[in-house]
């Protein structure tokens, strides 16, 4: 680990100037004040009766042996609830609505049966749509791990990367295209992507796509989809806007709903009251504690996150950031450094962090309070995963 860090808290410039500039950014948009008591909750020990008991093992599923070996090589033997209840229906060709949060294993729930389907018929084509570049990139990485030794090709269709290269890759007829709504629709409008051959479609984290403002993009894309097709729809919630998408997307679906509390009960939540404008110093002291092993820090603005990252580096911390002003390559390198342990502090804005799935995050720090309670739930869901206890702290005035 990187403890102990530089305990000199004067590095990186004037704390007061940073606070003033950060406040100016915050005031550019209307912020809904959330009751700080909502950020306080003790983690609950998971009772034995709350632990899901799977009906199947991965070896029980009717999938190819090479895929079973790849699953085993990744250390998986017993499926999660969403995997256990979704995979048999997807294998049988049914449309599936999966209502589950990030961190429940839903990516493997759709990748495994679809990869098996393609392996058994290389003419199959699969389109997977995700709300952010980071999530699309992670889905692609996980697909490649499951597809080891299987001769399939993929195309990552996301913004921030060369469209010309993506068009060239699409011309080679990859079995899987994984992308974000904006870039996929750009490719459709350029007539570089024809969806008529894609009879397997996944919309992942639909509620996040709606939050970000992609609802019209999704409707536009759906209008080009072929019928019949197999449609898989995954979302943490299904409100009226997501129902609008559902009505034209799935046919006679099976619904698999994974019950989960509104905030993770495995996350111990508390607040830190800001003292005399010493916000950065208080953050510094927290990060120097031995228990803060792998930390995600959330801020509200791109400028604020970048400024704070530079200040932490100046104080001797190993820190990287992800936000909208970073290139796709920079964002991918930062995430890889954090996932692989080359740094243990990742700073992010809410939009840029959508879909980030990293194991063993010990703490989430809300350096700026979230704009909504839904954002808060999303942020703290980065920790306390896979049955482990996590910790979340929120700075409040």
CATH for 51-257 (3.20.20.190, 3.90.1310.10, 1.25.40.20, 3.40.50.300): 3.40.50.300
At 15 the pLDDT is: 41
Return the percentage of the chain with pLDDT > 70, whole number: 85
φ, ψ of residue 312 in degrees (nearest 5): -65, -40
Torsion sign, CA atoms 176, 180, 181, 185: negative
At 387 the pLDDT is: 67
* Residue carrying structure tokens 């342990």: 341
* Residue carrying structure tokens 């209502």: 99
Whether pLDDT at 279 is above 90 = yes
The secondary structure element, H or E, covering residue 11 is none
CATH class as words, domain 15-46+265-396: alpha beta
Listed range (5-9, 115-119, 234-238, 261-265) with the worst mean pLDDT: 5-9
Stronger pLDDT, 263 or 349, i.e. the higher one:
349
What angle is formed at CA 91 by the lines to CA 87 and CA 95, rounded to 5 degrees? 85
Whether pLDDT at 283 is above 90 = yes
Give the number of C-alpha atoms closer than 13 A to the C-alpha of residue 275, restricted to the C-beta side. Answer: 5
pLDDT band for 13, please (50, 70, 90 cuts): very low
Q: What is the mean pLDDT of residues 292-304?
A: 95
Three-class SS state of 2: coil
Average model confidence (pLDDT) across the chain: 86
d(CA 210, CA 217): 10
Whether pLDDT at 5 is above 60 = no
- Sequence-ordered alpha helix ranges (H) in the chain: 15-26, 65-73, 81-91, 106-120, 133-146, 163-171, 181-189, 206-212, 215-222, 240-247, 279-287, 302-314, 328-339, 350-353, 373-380
Q: What is the mean pLDDT of residues 208-217?
A: 88
Return the percentage of the chain with pLDDT > 90, whole number: 62
d(CA 260, CA 199): 31
pLDDT band for 45, please (50, 70, 90 cuts): low
Where are the chain's structural domains? 15-46+265-396, 51-257
pLDDT band for 355, please (50, 70, 90 cuts): low
At 348 the pLDDT is: 93
pTM exceeding 0.75: no
Q: Do domains 15-46+265-396 and 51-257 have the same CATH topology?
A: yes
Q: What is the mean pLDDT of residues 381-391?
A: 81
Q: What is the mean pLDDT of residues 323-331?
A: 85
Quick: pLDDT tens for 263-274: 567 789 999 999
Contacts of 302 (CB under 8 A, 6+ apart): 323, 324, 325, 349
Quick: pLDDT tens for 241-259: 899 899 889 999 999 998 6
Helix (DSSP H) and strand (DSSP E) numbers for the chain: 15, 13
Contact between 95 and 251 under an 8 Å Cβ cutoff? The reply is yes
What angle is formed at CA 361 by the lines to CA 356 and CA 362, rounded to 5 degrees? 155
Listed range (108-122, 153-167, 258-272) with the worst mean pLDDT: 258-272
At 260 the pLDDT is: 59
């Amino acid at each position: 680990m990187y403890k102990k860090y530089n305990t000199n808290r004067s590095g990186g410039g004037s704390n007061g100037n940073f606070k003033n500039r950060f406040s100016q950014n915050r005031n550019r948009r209307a912020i809904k004040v959330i009751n700080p008591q909502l950020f306080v909750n003790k983690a609950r020990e998971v009772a034995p009766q709350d632990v899901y008991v799977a009906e199947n093992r991965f070896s029980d599923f009717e999938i190819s042996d090479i895929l079973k070996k790849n699953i085993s090589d990744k250390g998986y033997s017993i499926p999660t609830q969403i995997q256990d209840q979704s995979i048999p229906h997807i294998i049988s060709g049914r449309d599936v609505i999966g209502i589950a949060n990030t961190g429940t294993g839903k990516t493997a729930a759709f990748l495994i049966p679809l990869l098996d389907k393609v392996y058994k018929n290389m003419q199959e084509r699969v389109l997977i749509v995700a709300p952010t570049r980071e999530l699309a990139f992670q889905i692609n990485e996980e697909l490649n791990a499951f597809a080891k030794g299987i001769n399939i090709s993929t195309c990552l269709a996301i913004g921030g990367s060369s469209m010309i290269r993506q068009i060239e890759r699409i011309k080679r007829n990859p079995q899987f295209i994984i992308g974000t709504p904006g870039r996929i629709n750009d490719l459709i409008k350029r007539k570089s992507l024809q969806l008529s051959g894609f009879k397997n479609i996944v919309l992942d984290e639909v509620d996040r796509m709606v939050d970000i403002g992609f609802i019209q993009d999704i409707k536009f894309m759906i209008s080009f989809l072929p019928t019949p097709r197999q449609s898989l729809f995954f979302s943490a919630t299904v409100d009226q806007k997501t129902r609008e998408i559902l009505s034209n997307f799935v046919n006679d679906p099976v619904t698999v709903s994974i019950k989960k509390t509104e905030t993770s009960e495995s996350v111990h939540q508390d607040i830190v009251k800001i003292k005399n404008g010493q916000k950065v110093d208080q953050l510094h002291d927290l990060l120097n504690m031995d228990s803060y092993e792998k930390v995600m820090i959330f801020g509200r603005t791109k400028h604020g996150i970048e400024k704070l990252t530079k200040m932490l580096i100046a104080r001797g911390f190993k820190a990287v950031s992800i936000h909208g002003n970073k290139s796709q390559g920079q964002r991918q390198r930062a995430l890889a450094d954090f996932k692989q342990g080359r740094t243990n502090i990742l700073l992010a804005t809410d939009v840029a962090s959508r879909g980030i799935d990293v194991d063993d995050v010990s703490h989430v720090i809300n350096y700026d309070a979230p704009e909504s309670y839904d954002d808060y739930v999303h942020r703290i869901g980065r920790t306390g995963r896979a049955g482990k206890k996590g910790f979340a702290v929120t700075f409040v005035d």
